[in-house]
Amino acid sequence: MVEFRLPVRVYYEDTDAAGIVYHANYLKFMERARTEWLRALGFEQTALARQYDLAFVVRTASLDFRRPARFDDNLVSVCRVWRYGRASIDFEQDVETLAGALLCRGKIRVGAVSLNQMSSKRMPDEIFLRIRDGS
């Protein structure tokens, strides 16, 4: 399973009153990694929408929190495809310290949808094959 790794710095806005990363922000860190993974494969989300009437939307998300991150920490958001189909992609995603300590693990399923119809849509071959070959 190929990993995509994205450095993430914790900003003050990411934390709660105790200076700990607010739980929902781990989803943001994971979203950023999926966006940059897609970009690394050569696909911009705006172009997918314009050219293919395609967007990827989160269908399910499950998070397992292990340890807290704090203001000004440098982290890594890790993205791995562990299963893909013609209309969905399942990711295992981690947020880790630079030393590799696991802070949060996520299982995220995204579905491909038509933006015009807001219904499930099969990925065009060009996209599906690049995801398959890049994973």
Active site residues: 16
State the CB neighbour count (10 A cutoff) for residue 82. Answer: 12
Cross-strand bridge partners of residue 113:
55, 120
Reduced to 3 states (helix: H, G, I; strand: E, B; else coil), residue 52 is helix
Residue 108 and residue 30: Cα distance in Å, rounded?
Answer: 9
